[in-house]
Amino acid sequence: MSNSEWKPNQQKFGAKYKLIGKDYPTPDLYAKVTGKAKYAEDFRVDGMLFCKLLLSPVAHGRVKHLDVSKATAMPGVKAILTQDDLPAPADSVTDLGVTIKANPLGEKALTMEPLYHGEPVLAVAAVDEYTAAEAIEAIDIEFEPLPFAVDPLDTLRPGGPNPRLQGNVWVRPSMPQAKPGEKPPSPPVPHVGELKWTEADFAETKHGRLPLGKAQDEWVVGDLDAGFKEAALVLDETFVTPDTSHETLEPRTTLAYWQNGKVFVHMGTQSTVQTLASLGRWLNMDQNQIVLVSEYTGGGFGSKATGYIFAIIPALLSKKANAPVMMRISREEEHFIGRARPGFQGRMKVGFAKNGRITALDMFVICNNGPYDAVGDANTSGTIVSLLYQPLAMRWRGTTVLTNTPPRGAQSSPGGMQGIVIMETIVSKAARQLGLDQVDIRRINCPEGKAPVGPVRNGTRGHSTSAFLKEAFDRGSEQFRWKERTARPKRSGTKVRGVGVSSSCFVGGSIGYDGLFVIRPDGRIAIQSGVGNLGTESLHDVHRVVAEVLGVPWEKCDVTWGNTSKNLPWTCVSGGSQTTHAMTRAAHAAAIDGKQKLQEIAAKVLGGKPEQYEVGNERVFRKGGGRGMTLPQAAQHAIQLGGKYDGHEPPEDVNKFTKASIAALQGQGLLAAAKDKYPRDGQTFSYVACFAEVEVDVETGKYDITDYLAVADVGTVLHPKSLSGQILGRSILGIGHAIGQKWVFDPHYGHTISLRFHHTKPPTILDVPVNMQWAALDIPDPETPVGARGIGEPPVGGGCGAILNALSDALGDEIFRRAPVNLDTILTSLEAGRPTQDPLTAHI
């Protein structure tokens, strides 16, 4: 289809709003495009030292000899930091007052028993990086290599090596019951134990199928056996998804220095407010003694949700050397410490009725966790698959296995993406075998409205707040001309083309955070934002709600962000696509609080009742005409009135963090602050239907994606341009998983050997179609005041799934058994006439 038939999105959003649904330049845009924006690395402080890290050459080992005397004797070397200099890990306390005990087996910033190749062992601070590097080379260090495993199946084998001295899986002791009336007890600290499968389990590998050994966790809903009995088609497939680094362009570079007993940390993080707690825990310090500066963050994708533990290295070195310390992280170091999505080795047995409806789904996944704290991907994969495909009966079994590979972290649609991708290839195969249309088979299994999700917990099953995925498929089929495309000839010359479609969804928002702003006597609205500036633009987008509700021009609003000394409100983690949903709610609550206060002030000053007043056009005025006052006047009155109006009496229910900020802001104008207490029936998810066409050259195996469309169900569209960036950007992340991004390990030494971008192969702009398309349904979610949900994550699984499905449409089902699919896979499978890929081994 030529580009002329295939126009960019012409949709108009926000018909009933002034600001919501409209494009605008975000206040940080100019700084970003001109280079004026200051990322952590751009700061310079007088007397600043530089630090470099000594990384582990072994996948697992112990330092058996360390002599730093030659390094410390070098001129310019100021301090060396080792594990011994780290504070003991601190316990943390949740919002509910529950103490979470620190885990002695958790990740440390530096360690003498490295658990992966590239793990930081020690750090040297010197007058410049050259000296620091020379000093590291002068350090006499010897490691005792210990057994290691980079592939989960290796350690699960009987007699297989354990990645940690204690074993290969986290064991979570059962939670003690809370006594009525008392606060919930601390959950017991997980420990590392051993899980081995039997030789009999591993017999499955001979047939290229994943062994179904004892799983760590499982749940069942419905009658699985009955479901399979009813099925007209049962497929049992094994599939491997890749481990992919987040590859944020800004590495974990950090600057730290101490002033008057406070530590100042400049770093890139996704969440401003929520990172403070992490730093406090890692440094074992009171949060009040920490100032975090993070105005700009060069990408997170989940990897910097609440910062990163390595930020404490320059902080502690700075204390030791009594000088500011800059830790610049190289791309190679970032590869080791920068987190990654865990790869899955998965197996699914799925029963389909004749019409394509999934009658039973037996899901089994292994999550390659890396050596430290468990990621939630395995669990989430089950939840998401249960929602997205609405199987009549489902069993999920999952095991999160420790390996000596760089630690994983959440990456856009953690777990959801892996589960969806494994499922999508099976649904495609089923449609071909049942003679069904690919869109139809997805539509018939779509979640709708308050759709059930996940396992039964405490006697009830959760459900979604809303789901309009069917509508997304309908819109997408039409816009993509699905029927037309599927009817065309497939082969011409050496080229074969195929079309694919994929469902996807992921969590889309949390609740319960605070909004805070001040209407100042100069007429400007000072909005305090605890949202991180991670590039999604939600930092500004969510606060447009304040201006919308108050009827104030956006140009009159000043958003303060990126520095925890600047009196910010309690804010959600900018991760898990929570922000748009959570913080539009908080902004809405604060705006309503502001509006009420304006009405009350007007009534107090001008007489009448508050409800007789209206707010709009930068004024508060009597309904139907009459007296009123400007917002600057109202702000003056608020200061005179004091109490709750100017922040002297903060709302009872806001977080203590917000209260501290209110205390600092009091008396500056009309202070609006509120906690989001809007009701919500269900859990918030967003959905997307993705369509793709590929063209494969069967002589080289090379393929190109010629067209792509994603139609999103994200509730109310808040900011079309940022939404487009999210939908297409995250689609590209997903496409990367389909076309090439991965990790490669040498299994003999347990080393990462894919250390460069040209090894890990994140997709480039030329790997995606020039004319990628998107659309959004713009149907408000009924369970949130603005109706907006988050969208960061769902397109990842959809992007990957659509490409894989287009490939199997072009080439058939006998080509690949894992993602990514490169030309080598295609060519060898075509040559052999059967799938040639190893469907079990990780990291190849």
Partner 1 sequence: MAVIRDVMPAFQLYQPSSVADAQKLLGQNGSDALVLAGGLDSMDWLKDRIKKPKVVVDLSGVSELKGIRETPDGVEIGAMTTLTEISTSPVIRQKYSLLSQAAEVVASPQIRNQGTIGGNVSQDTRCWYYRAGWPCYRAGGNICYADTPVGRNREHAILHSERCVAVNPSDTAPAFIALDAKFVVMTPKGQRVIDAEDYFIGPDIDITRMNILQPGSLLTAIRIPSTWAQAQFYFEKVRDRNVWDFPLMNVASAMKSSGDNIQDVRIAVNAVAARPLRLKMVEDSVRGKPRNAATGEAAGKLAVQGAVPLQFNAYKVPLMRNLVKRAIGGVQEAAWAS
Partner 2 sequence: MGILEWATSPLGQRVPIHIAWFLIWVALIAGLVFLIVHAIYVCYFAKDKGFASDLPSEIGQQLPARIPRHSLMARLFHWIMAGAMFVLLFTAFLPKVGVQFNWVTYHWIAGTVLTISILFHIVHATFYLDFWSIWPDRSDIEDARKRLQRFMGKSTALPRKFAKYPLENKLYHGVVMLSGLAVIITGVFMMFRVRTVFFPRNPYLFSDMTWGMMYVLHGLAGVGLITLTIVHVYFAIRPEKLPITASMIVGSMSREFYLKEHDPQRWVIEGLPHHGSAADGD
- Catalog residues that contact partner 1 under the rule CB under 8 A: 1, 52, 54-55, 57, 129-130, 132-134, 136-141, 330, 332-333, 488-489, 492-495, 497, 695, 699-702, 704, 739-740, 744-748, 751, 753-755, 757-759, 761, 763-767, 822-825, 827-828, 830-831, 836, 844
Q: Which does 144 bind (CB under 5 to 8 A by kind): partner 1, partner 2, none?
A: none
Please answer whether residues 726 and 536 qualify as being in contact, where contact means their C-beta atoms are separated by less than 8 angstroms.
yes
C-beta closer to partner 2: residue 62 or 191: 62
Please, what is the minimum distance in Å from the beta carbon of residue 57 to partner 2? Answer: 3
C-beta closer to partner 1: residue 252 or 637: 252
- In single-letter form, the type of residue at position 716 comes to T
Please, what is the minimum distance in Å from the beta carbon of residue 54 to partner 1? Answer: 5
Please, what is the minimum distance in Å from the beta carbon of residue 108 to partner 1? Answer: 19
Q: Which does 58 bind (CB under 5 to 8 A by kind): partner 1, partner 2, none?
A: partner 2
Tokens of 425: 């290839």
β-sheet bridge partners, residue 77 = 126
- In single-letter form, the type of residue at position 539 comes to L
Distance of CA 170 to the CA centre of its chain: 22
C-beta closer to partner 2: residue 76 or 145: 145
C-beta closer to partner 2: residue 66 or 605: 66
Q: Which does 440 bind (CB under 5 to 8 A by kind): partner 2, partner 1, none?
A: none
Cα–Cα dist 442/232, whole Å: 17
Any residues with CB less than 8 A from the CB of 615 and at least 6 apart, and which?
550, 551, 595, 598, 599
Q: Which does 653 bind (CB under 5 to 8 A by kind): partner 1, partner 2, none?
A: none
Task: With H, G, I as helix, E, B as strand and everything else as coil, classify residue 756.
Answer: coil
Please, what is the minimum distance in Å from the beta carbon of residue 595 to partner 1? Answer: 52
Please, what is the minimum distance in Å from the beta carbon of residue 760 to partner 1? Answer: 11
Any residues with CB less than 8 A from the CB of 561 and at least 6 apart, and which?
272, 295, 529, 530, 531, 533, 539, 568
Tokens of 436: 């069904």
Please, what is the minimum distance in Å from the beta carbon of residue 750 to partner 2? Answer: 9
Please, what is the minimum distance in Å from the beta carbon of residue 57 to partner 1? Answer: 6
Please, what is the minimum distance in Å from the beta carbon of residue 153 to partner 1? Answer: 14
Q: Which does 516 bind (CB under 5 to 8 A by kind): partner 1, partner 2, none?
A: none
Q: Which residues bind partner 2 (CB under 8 A)?
A: 57-58, 61, 141-143, 145, 746, 748-749, 751
Count of other CB atoms within 10 angstroms of residue 461: 12
Cα–Cα dist 492/216, whole Å: 50
Cα–Cα dist 721/336, whole Å: 33
Cα–Cα dist 538/722, whole Å: 8
Please, what is the minimum distance in Å from the beta carbon of residue 244 to partner 1? Answer: 14
C-beta closer to partner 1: residue 117 or 675: 117
Please answer whether residues 164 and 402 qualify as being in contact, where contact means their C-beta atoms are separated by less than 8 angstroms.
yes
Please answer whether residues 305 and 409 qualify as being in contact, where contact means their C-beta atoms are separated by less than 8 angstroms.
yes
Q: Which does 668 bind (CB under 5 to 8 A by kind): partner 2, partner 1, none?
A: none
Strands, E assignment, 608-665: 613-616, 619-622, 628-630
C-beta closer to partner 2: residue 117 or 397: 117
Please answer whether residues 632 and 640 qualify as being in contact, where contact means their C-beta atoms are separated by less than 8 angstroms.
no
C-beta closer to partner 1: residue 653 or 699: 699
Q: Is 225 exposed, middle or buried (0-12, 13-18, 19+ CB in 10 A)?
A: exposed
C-beta closer to partner 1: residue 217 or 767: 767
Q: Which does 134 bind (CB under 5 to 8 A by kind): partner 2, partner 1, none?
A: partner 1
C-beta closer to partner 2: residue 61 or 455: 61
Q: Residue 28's closest CA among 519, 510, 529, 509? A: 529
b/e per residue 593-615 (b: at least 16 CB within 10 A): bbbbbbbbbbbebbeeebebbbb
C-beta closer to partner 1: residue 138 or 212: 138
Q: Which does 744 bind (CB under 5 to 8 A by kind): partner 2, partner 1, none?
A: partner 1
Distance of CA 824 to the CA centre of its chain: 31
C-beta closer to partner 2: residue 59 or 329: 59
Q: Which pairing describes strands 49-55 and 325-327: parallel, antiparallel, or unpaired?
A: parallel
C-beta closer to partner 1: residue 141 or 434: 141
Cα–Cα dist 177/183, whole Å: 11
C-beta closer to partner 1: residue 67 or 611: 67
The helix (run of H) or strand (run of E) holding residue 707 is strand 703-713
Cα–Cα dist 411/812, whole Å: 30
Q: Which does 133 bind (CB under 5 to 8 A by kind): partner 2, partner 1, none?
A: partner 1
Please, what is the minimum distance in Å from the beta carbon of residue 327 to partner 2? Answer: 22
C-beta closer to partner 2: residue 230 or 746: 746
Q: Which does 145 bind (CB under 5 to 8 A by kind): partner 2, partner 1, none?
A: partner 2
Cα–Cα dist 219/203, whole Å: 25
Please, what is the minimum distance in Å from the beta carbon of residue 117 to partner 2? Answer: 9
Please, what is the minimum distance in Å from the beta carbon of residue 60 to partner 2? Answer: 11
**DSSP state for residue 101 in the 8-state scheme:** P
Q: Which does 136 bind (CB under 5 to 8 A by kind): partner 2, partner 1, none?
A: partner 1
Q: Is 700 exposed, middle or buried (0-12, 13-18, 19+ CB in 10 A)?
A: exposed
Please, what is the minimum distance in Å from the beta carbon of residue 743 to partner 1? Answer: 11
Please, what is the minimum distance in Å from the beta carbon of residue 58 to partner 2? Answer: 5
Q: Which does 489 bind (CB under 5 to 8 A by kind): partner 2, partner 1, none?
A: partner 1
Q: Which does 704 bind (CB under 5 to 8 A by kind): partner 2, partner 1, none?
A: partner 1
Tokens of 803: 């490409």
Q: Which does 94 bind (CB under 5 to 8 A by kind): partner 2, partner 1, none?
A: none
**DSSP state for residue 161 in the 8-state scheme:** P
Please, what is the minimum distance in Å from the beta carbon of residue 829 to partner 2? Answer: 24
C-beta closer to partner 2: residue 143 or 691: 143
Cα–Cα dist 822/701, whole Å: 8
- In single-letter form, the type of residue at position 663 comes to A
Task: With H, G, I as helix, E, B as strand and everything else as coil, classify residue 98.
Answer: coil
Alpha helices by DSSP H, listed for 254-297, are 272-283
Q: Residue 476's closest CA among 430, 431, 439? A: 439
Q: Which does 695 bind (CB under 5 to 8 A by kind): partner 1, partner 2, none?
A: partner 1
Cα–Cα dist 468/446, whole Å: 9
The C-alpha angle with vertex 567 and arms to 562 and 572, in degrees rounded to 5, equals 65
